[in-house]
Amino acid sequence: MKHRQAHRGPRPPRGLDAVFGVHAVQALLKQGNAAKMLWVQEGHAEKRLQELIDDAIRQGMSVEHFPRDVLDVQANGGSHQGVVAFCAPLIAESEETLMWRLESWQAAVPPLLLVLDSVTDPHNFGACLRSADAAGVHGVIVAKDKSAPLNATVRKVACGAAETVPVYQVTNLARTLARLKEMGVWIAGAAGEADQSIYDIDLRVASALVMGAEGKGLRRLTREACDMLVKLPMAGSVSSLNVSVATGICLFEAVRQRQS
């Protein structure tokens, strides 16, 4: 039997982040102990989400029911679809951890890394993480400044990928790229004015694909740190693609080459 309590001005659990949306919450539940508490919208949403609620209860989670406006506050204007989960905040890993892991990756398989330069939109960041997870990327590298935070919007758009793909925050992106090159990683930066296509380079070797913010592209120092610049051939009237779309295309070209 469901236990329902009347709450006035409920406060979210301290120290936990809200993750909202059915797919994002389902992804959390698949990870076992990732989520600590579930808030569900009262009414029809309860019936629609019963399977998800049962799964949360089986994992020993606290499940509470609230009016829609309470969940609206937690989603901060986003589409929560009747469910909000609370879990520990995501914490990016360090550059030193990246370098330490890189050695073990190279001993097994040529690593594939994604570098995001000044991608500040959480929706684009989340979509890039989702593509990175699908493509089997070993890690995503971002700068500590001029980068979207690992917040609830990123987690919702990523649909679970934010919890599975390691994100490494570095102080100086150009310097990190230089260290990667010293360790045998080839750096390919995406730029519309490049002479060669993404389809013309060898991505079967240890590689890092560097994607710039939509509109501005790669910063000068980032561009200069790349071994090569590549482009996506554009046949239509538009001059560029959304960064998350371009990221998916470039990553899956690497997947295609590595599987052929």
Separation CA 31–CA 104 (nearest Å): 25
Mean pLDDT of 139-149: 94
Tell me which architecture the domain covering 95-259 has in CATH.
3-Layer(aba) Sandwich (3.40)
Give the residue extent of every domain in the chain: 17-87, 95-259
Mean pLDDT of 182-205: 95
The number of helix segments (H) and strand segments (E) in the chain equals 11, 11
Higher pLDDT, 193 or 201: 201
Read off the pTM.
0.86
pLDDT at 7: 44
Mean pLDDT of the residues in the chain: 89
Q: Which long-range contacts (CB under 8 A, 24 or more apart) does 217-222 make?
A: 217/190, 217/191, 217/192, 218/117, 218/189, 218/190, 218/191, 219/117, 219/118, 219/173, 221/173, 221/174, 222/117, 222/173, 222/174, 222/177, 222/189
**One fold for both 17-87 and 95-259?**
no
pLDDT at 156: 85
- Judge contact between 223 and 194, C-beta under 8 A: no
Give me the percent of the chain exceeding a pLDDT of 70.
Answer: 94
Mean pLDDT of 89-117: 93
pLDDT at 224: 96
Each residue's pLDDT tens digit, 230-256: 999 877 767 678 999 999 999 999 999
> Is it the case that residue 4 has pLDDT exceeding 60?
no
> Is it the case that residue 2 has pLDDT exceeding 70?
no
Asked which of 26-40, 49-63, 71-85 is least confident by mean pLDDT, the reply is: 26-40
For residue 230, list its beta bridge partners: 190, 196
Tell me which architecture the domain covering 17-87 has in CATH.
2-Layer Sandwich (3.30)
- Judge contact between 207 and 112, C-beta under 8 A: yes
> Is it the case that residue 177 has pLDDT exceeding 50?
yes
Residue 33: which pLDDT band, with cuts at 50, 70 and 90? low
> Is it the case that residue 85 has pLDDT exceeding 80?
yes
Each residue's pLDDT tens digit, 109-129: 999 999 999 999 999 999 999
